[in-house]
Structure 1
Amino acid sequence: MGYITYFQVEKSADIIRSPYNARQDSNADRVARGKIVDKNGNILARTSVAEDGSEIREYPFGNMFAHVVGYSTHGKTGIESVANYDLLTSNAFFLEKLKNEFQDQKNTGDTVVTTLDLTLQQAAYNALGSYKGAVVVMDPKTGKILAMVSKPDYDPNTVDANWDSLNTDENSALLNRATQGQYAPGSTFKVVTALEYMREYPDYSSYTYNCTGAIEQDGITIHCYNGNVHGQLNLQDSLAYSCNASFSNIGLLLDSDSFKKTAKEVLFDSKLPCDLSYSKSSFTLDSSAGNGTKMMTAMGQGETQVSPYHMALITSAIANGGTLMKPYLIDKVTNYSGTTVKETEPEEYRQLMTTEEAAQLKEYMKSVVDYGTASVLAGQSYTAAGKTGTAEYSSDKEKDHSWFIGMSNVENPELVVSIIIESSDGTAKAVNIAKQIFDAYYY
């Protein structure tokens, strides 16, 4: 009896809203699927009725919101799946609903107002251009997801017609790389390595290393990017210049089990707070690791795998004083005439690090912009902090992944971005995409 009560009371809403609950779609016989709109009311998905009475789901912005809004034919993805129950529920005035039922007409489903921002989505989509990759933009103070782009993409208006070709597409156009992509994090992971070093060595401000452009240990040589010789460095400079030799040296100084514990605390090998389908990130370093593996892991290579979405969560926690706010995509649900049915309140998800640790990492990331590898963001009307990254994934050195994580308005962060460009040829840099997104917001 207690178990039945638990499901009836505690879990009923989750079960009703589950995308695997086929009974949801039975509402489509009585309710015309509601609209999905961005934070300012721009229509991202709507249902129109043809002359023969058939319903057509339309996506006015085509490919731009493909992965995050999703589609509702051949199954459901994205917000179409997450909000399926709300879209097929009508909270219209009860007399109007009664009248429609008597006239055998469908009621209009509720409107899902998302946290997405058309201006930022468009800026991210255009900036990524024809490259494969992903962009995530968040508000770190609330957890609102403001933009999410994945490429290659598809047109959700033609999913039905192109279903077979989409499912056999060698570029995996249906895959949401933002949440499901798995990549070596490259130098963006150095913020996690720096966090671990700070925890193991309370006198971390006295760290010093003389970079000669490479480090050799047990017959393994690791070079700094482009063979740069950075000279005498402290921990802040090591991050600002993204010195591979220095971080490899730090990797040799760290306790592997403690490092794994810190990685777990920032949600590696863990469930992520995410409404969409996602892939867990992995951190495999342990006490059995050799020196080569320790060095590679510390600089973001090795076997570590992460999604752009997860790196956005870590960056959001740094921006928000160590606290990760629970990410969300649905701001509120209204009936079709605009009356609010329910609203999402921001809530804390977890403390990923202390306030002091977050403040120090933020300061280090600011130096990356002030005089380091992300100086393209310096001198703007807004302040910025971040970390660039280059992730090797094959023997072809001309085709590394380009990463950037960062935030704007550093003293009171307003935007957090996480960006990856797959197979960058060296001219396409993720930090430049960040600049275009920040510019679209502030100018």
Structure 2
Amino acid sequence: MRSMKGEKGVRADAKRENRNIVHITFAVVLLFIVMTGYIGSYTYFKAPDFINSPYNLRQELLAKRVIRGQILSRNREILARTVTAENGEEERSYPYKNLFAHAVGYSDRGKSGVELMSNLTLLTSDDYLPDRVSNILNGRKNNGNNVVTTLDINMQAAAYEALGDFRGAIIALDARTGAVLCMVSKPDFDPESIAESWDAINADPERGALVNRCTQGLYPPGSTFKIVTMLEYLKENSDEELKEFSFDCGGSFSKDGYTINCYHGRNHGIVDINTAFSESCNSAFAYMGTSFDRSGFKDTCEKLLFNRELPLKFPYNKSYVPIGPGSDTGEVMQTAIGQGKMQTTPMHMAMITQAIANGGVLMTPYIIDHIENSGGDVIKSFAPKEYGRIIEKEHADRLCELMEEVVRDGTATRLKSDSFTAAGKTGSAEYSSNKVMSHAWFTCFAPVQDPEVVVTVIAEEAGSGGQFAVPMAKSVLDAWF
């Protein structure tokens, strides 16, 4: 009996040990799978950062064997190229100097713009293999690949001239694809002499010449944000309620101890929903805001990517809207007219406008059309990519109608043209404590039917959006149409 019990005990112990071994083996295998997956995904998503890091020694090795490729416009003008100086050293040349400073970027004292985004591509040669081998054997450098951008030189030049001496930004997107057609930011710099002017540029951080205001400049959006406020009002009210909307504007609106004034104290009188939008009545929009479900308003803002990451490959700053369930009346009223603590970038407002023009579907902005070798053979193309629907089509269509009226009879009549129809929204964003100084905003698309182009403008400290930003946008649209 003892022998039988002993054998049973041994077998039981063996089973326990086997189970323990199985559990440990399973845990080790699972941990290995998790670590492999993490490392793989981290490497995949972070690969561009590793490759384009200035500390990546591989770049130095490539630069010794490859002549950095060209950057071209969509019209195939050379925006950046490598030339050989009199001393025999290679230098980067930018034929258009300051014109494409922020979009194309610089490649000395670090890198920015397309120069940074496509760094490895420009230092990689996909020329005919026998030619590459021959160059290596004969001690010659191979030609790097060329990057063809979506940038339109005529629109870029028009935007640059239109912005003039104002600090600010102008960005244009293809309304159908999200392609960046122009990207102007001022103050700017000459990328060809960046090394010589580096100390002077960095000695004046307030001027911010290296900041790409299109994607990194954060501003109160002013009345351009009424697009978002109107979207929430459309969502919360029936067609019948929208038709019956009536507000008697006496130049201001007060509630719970907070007051919102119309721009320059203008008295708009009795306005319906269309007139409130086209005449940009602050009082009416503050009134609308007080009726909102705060959680719903927050959700709408975040569906439009406020407080969220943007699908951009450019360095950018995230837009911020403070609205939430706990917001008081004053914060809601300020947010409804695009003031208060909220901030956004010109690129973000252009993206929202593009989605409206595209029936509510946001396209991912992109600036590189394709990559080709030095012989012109296409190596890789970048197709337009949908981010997804951020606005219901019925609401996007209604916003189009309202924005069209802004140009036809409202604050943006300066945009009227015989060459195209347009729809947009002006903004005059107060930024000083005395509420006198304002940034001029305008965002629009054209033509109204089958939209092709989106243009968004901000001119710092210019004043009225209708007076200053609208003519700037018109200059850019004239260059397209």
Deviation (angstroms), 1:259: 0.5
Q: Which residue of 2 aligns with 1:53?
A: 88
Match of 1:44 among 47, 55, 79: 79
Q: Which residue of 2 aligns with 1:349?
A: 387
Do residues 173 (structure 1) and 195 (structure 2) align? no
Q: Which residue of 2 aligns with 1:208?
A: 246
Deviation (angstroms), 1:212: 1.6
- 3-state SS, counterpart of residue 210 of structure 2: coil
Q: Which residue of 2 aligns with 1:189?
A: 225
Deviations 1:174-224 (A, max 9, x none): 011110011000000000000011111123333221112211223332221
Code of the aligned partner of 1:15: A
Of the structure 1 ranges 351-360 and 202-211, higher mean CA displacement relative to structure 2 is found in 202-211
Deviation (angstroms), 1:12: 4.5
Deviations 1:346-383 (A, max 9, x none): 11012111111111101100010010000111243200
Distance 1:89 1:237 in 2: 56
Do residues 100 (structure 1) and 138 (structure 2) align? no
Of the structure 1 ranges 280-289 and 20-29, higher mean CA displacement relative to structure 2 is found in 20-29
What TM-score results when the alignment is normalised by the length of structure 1?
A: 0.96
Q: Which residue of 2 aligns with 1:242?
A: 280
Q: Which residue of 2 aligns with 1:147?
A: 182
- 3-state SS, counterpart of residue 215 of structure 2: helix
User: In the superposition, relative to structure 1, how do residues 283 and 10 fare at CA in structure 2: closer, same or farther (>3 Å)?
Assistant: closer
Distance 2:463 2:352 in 1: 27
Contact 2:430 2:436 in 1 (8 A): no
Match of 2:453 among 412, 415, 426: 415
Deviation (angstroms), 1:109: 0.4
Distance 1:397 1:255 in 2: 28
User: In the superposition, relative to structure 1, how do residues 278 and 319 fare at CA in structure 2: closer, same or farther (>3 Å)?
Assistant: same
Choose 1 or 2 for highest CA Rg: 2
Of the structure 1 ranges 20-29 and 209-218, higher mean CA displacement relative to structure 2 is found in 20-29
Do residues 15 (structure 1) and 47 (structure 2) align? yes
Code of the aligned partner of 1:83: S
Q: Which residue of 2 aligns with 1:292?
A: 330
Matches within 5 A, 1:22-421: 22=56, 23-169=58-204, 170-203=206-239, 204-421=242-459
Deviation (angstroms), 1:440: 1.5
Of the structure 1 ranges 125-134 and 350-359, higher mean CA displacement relative to structure 2 is found in 350-359
Contact 2:427 2:464 in 1 (8 A): no
Deviation (angstroms), 1:397: 4.7
- 3-state SS, counterpart of residue 428 of structure 2: strand
Deviation (angstroms), 1:257: 1.2
Runs of 5+ consecutive residues of structure 2 not aligned to the other structure: 1-31
Contact 1:112 1:334 in 2 (8 A): yes
Deviations 1:221-280 (A, max 9, x none): 222112222222222211100000000000111111110110000000111011110000
Distance 1:305 1:16 in 2: 29
Deviations 1:91-136 (A, max 9, x none): 1111111111011111010000000000000000000000000011
Distance 1:70 1:16 in 2: 17
Code of the aligned partner of 2:370: K
Deviation (angstroms), 1:59: 0.7
Q: Percent identity?
A: 44
- 3-state SS, counterpart of residue 424 of structure 1: coil
Code of the aligned partner of 2:317: S
User: In the superposition, relative to structure 1, how do residues 25 and 326 fare at CA in structure 2: closer, same or farther (>3 Å)?
Assistant: farther
Deviation (angstroms), 1:64: 0.8
Distance 1:37 1:402 in 2: 32
Distance 1:426 1:263 in 2: 25
Q: Which residue of 1 aligns with 2:27?
A: none
Q: Which residue of 1 aligns with 2:7?
A: none
Code of the aligned partner of 2:305: L
Runs of 4+ in 1 over 3 A off after TM superposition: 1-14, 395-398, 425-428
The structure with the greater share of residues assigned to helix is: 2
Deviation (angstroms), 1:343: 0.4
Deviation (angstroms), 1:327: 0.8
- 3-state SS, counterpart of residue 402 of structure 2: helix
Contact 1:16 1:24 in 2 (8 A): no
Aligned residues: 442
Do residues 440 (structure 1) and 479 (structure 2) align? yes
What TM-score results when the alignment is normalised by the length of structure 2?
A: 0.89
Distance 2:224 2:463 in 1: 19
- 3-state SS, counterpart of residue 161 of structure 1: helix
Contact 1:25 1:88 in 2 (8 A): no
Contact 2:163 2:472 in 1 (8 A): yes
Of the structure 1 ranges 316-325 and 387-396, higher mean CA displacement relative to structure 2 is found in 387-396
Contact 1:186 1:403 in 2 (8 A): yes
Deviations 1:130-183 (A, max 9, x none): 000001100021110000000000110111111111112230110111100110
Runs of 5+ consecutive residues of structure 1 not aligned to the other structure: none
